[in-house]
Amino acid sequence: MNMPTNEISVEPHFIDRRKYDTLRDKWMNDLAAIFARSDSAAQTTQQETATDHAGGDHQKCHVPIWEKSNLTLEESAAYFGIGTHKLRELTNDKRCDCVIFVGSKRLIKRKKFEKFLETAYSI
CB 123 within 8 A of CB 112: no
pLDDT over threshold 80, residue 110: yes
pLDDT at 66: 83
109 membership: H or E segment, kind and range: strand 105-109
**pLDDT single digits (tens) 112-121:** 999 988 998 8
**pLDDT single digits (tens) 50-105:** 555 555 555 677 878 788 889 999 998 888 898 989 999 988 888 888 899 999 89
What lies within 8 Å, CB to CB, of 78 at 6+ separation is: 65
Query: Rounded to two decimals, what is the model's pTM?
Result: 0.49
**pLDDT single digits (tens) 6-64:** 555 444 555 566 776 777 777 777 767 776 766 655 555 555 555 555 555 556 778 78
pLDDT at 59: 65
pLDDT at 40: 59
